[in-house]
A and B are shown apart, each in its own frame.
Chain A
């Protein structure tokens, strides 16, 4: 009788341990891959060209914005304390894209000296937080 209770308990402990391991594995195996480190413009320039995907956050420089609505190509420069970086992005010009907007770009800085952004995100203004 006792042994069946013990083995019953054991089953549940083993089951619980397996579930915890699965949970841990799901989190750990994905969290590294999905977390992108932000680089500053300075750090990126110091690294030089590479085919690695990187993420950069900075402010859009207004007078550099060049939007071609026919080809849907957006060229601009993004700047932070360490300098500025020319960027090209193919896609829709986001609603909040304007001078001084805080932008997050993700893409490659391969040869050519122009950052090819595959995603362009803009941070909503703080006013939105009031919602």
Chain B
């Protein structure tokens, strides 16, 4: 992994199009700004990981027939 020391206001280029800027350092928190082309989504890693795992689990399910006639949970009796 490339490790670079930067101060608030300084930036890092990832390729020609992605800019990562250190906005503010406060205690153990770092605020980071990221400017990327529309084709590149940016995620917090732990959320990306959770959604990836859920997508994989949903795709791996062995059920081939999804229920068609469903009891409606919100139905009022």
Partners in one complex: no
